[in-house]
Structure 1
């Protein structure tokens, strides 16, 4: 149990760790950020299609898989409608009121809840090494996400320490939701295949809706494509190594 607890904490706290560079720098080139995000997308794609979906199918059937995957995607889609989308390229072009920084933090916090539930559900599934793989892939996704949140806040003239604290806070909420997902699935084992499929749907939505489009708008599409493939193969290699 202590090991599981540590895995959930480390995965969630990757958000704060990713924000640490804002203490030293204020900007990262689009080339580097597109490469990082594309690599992360490849990792999450492999974790979903090579880990979560096969594990769910081993425990149940295609109907349950479809319900879980679509459920995870629909919940994140609902959050997209309810919460504001932050475009980093426009943060300097229009005046931003202080409350918008709080709106961003609230949006990222709610966005992290289903991600945390996915990690917790995967760890509770007792499928060998699957929880570690999902937690690792979510942690990789959280790191650049935390950096972008902190960088956005810096552009709003928020202090570096406050920006870092806010990024850590969003990760803390994900940690709490991981605990909830773990205990719910652990107590109700029949939810395991649904939880795994839900995690896959949530991750695939993030990959296709957020990460991939973000890497194809600055002229580095080829680099992003190969970074995506590298991330995909890296995660497949990690899964095979655990086996």
Structure 2
């Protein structure tokens, strides 16, 4: 099985990996078939854990390899990492201001983006998580694309570990969409479909990422840092505040530390 996977092209590998992360989103959304609500402490802990995974992945799987790849470049090694990191955050910030969306747990009056009031609540909830899945798909795609570049800093194990980490943290994201919709009276089937739909963007973003770095290899350090910056922006802007808005700050913070530690161990041990 491993030999078969390694024989595939980076594009196919990235597609398979993000189909897995999409499946994990669907698994989280499927909790709607078992209950109408998830315990707030459990949900906050899951979100905190997801934030820790994303922070660890941003450094160990993206920024660190970017710095290593840039050491032999024409710029100081910090230039691609710093510029790509900030551009990733600016990109997500810009999308956040343009596309209408509503973060789970907030009233309609706090919807963001252009003309959010013209959209249905269900659509806005799905768009919120979908937007934040873009950098995750890009990160996985770029990681697999880096393998094709032949860089010693890129490895199949590292890319697979990143995909596993993104899949783990997608569980609460699917739940965060489907459960509020179910509480508002939507059927279990529709709540599940909306919840899993938010993960559909990841395979698409992954294909964009892997094709970009395989066709334009010199941008690889910038691309890795770009994905890291976009993910850290999501963590700071949405994941951490969302995990603490119900007052479970200590629980969410400790879950974040655990998520970071587990992802770091996976990345260092396997990558």
User: Shift of the alpha carbon at 1:52?
Assistant: 1.3
- TM-score of the superposed pair, with normalisation by structure 1: 0.89
- After the TM superposition, which parts of structure 1 deviate over 4 Å for at least 4 consecutive aligned residues? none
**Could you tell me which of 14, 21, 25 is aligned with 1:11?**
21
Count of aligned pairs:
239
Is 1:35 aligned with 2:35? no
| Alignment-derived partner of residue 120 in structure 1 | 141
Please report the RMSD computed on the Cα atoms of aligned residues, expressed in angstroms.
2.1
| Alignment-derived partner of residue 135 in structure 1 | 163
User: Shift of the alpha carbon at 1:144?
Assistant: 0.8
**Could you tell me which of 190, 201, 215 is aligned with 2:218?**
190
Q: How does 1:162-241 map to 2 (within 5 A)?
A: 162-241=190-269
- TM-score of the superposed pair, with normalisation by structure 2: 0.81
Which one is further off, 13-22 or 218-227? 218-227
User: Shift of the alpha carbon at 1:193?
Assistant: 0.9
Gaps of 5+ in 1: none
The 2-side partners of 1:194 and 1:97 are apart by: 37
Q: How does 1:147-162 map to 2 (within 5 A)?
A: 147-162=175-190
The 2-side partners of 1:135 and 1:206 are apart by: 17
CA contact (8 A) 1:98 1:156 kept: no
Is 1:63 aligned with 2:79? yes
The 2-side partners of 1:223 and 1:86 are apart by: 21
CA contact (8 A) 2:83 2:222 kept: yes
The 2-side partners of 1:5 and 1:99 are apart by: 31
| Alignment-derived partner of residue 75 in structure 1 | 91
User: Shift of the alpha carbon at 1:3?
Assistant: 4.1
Gaps of 5+ in 2: 1-7, 71-76, 109-116, 148-153
The 2-side partners of 1:42 and 1:55 are apart by: 19
Residues 98 and 154 (structure 1), Cα distance of their counterparts in 2 relative to 1, 3 Å cut? farther
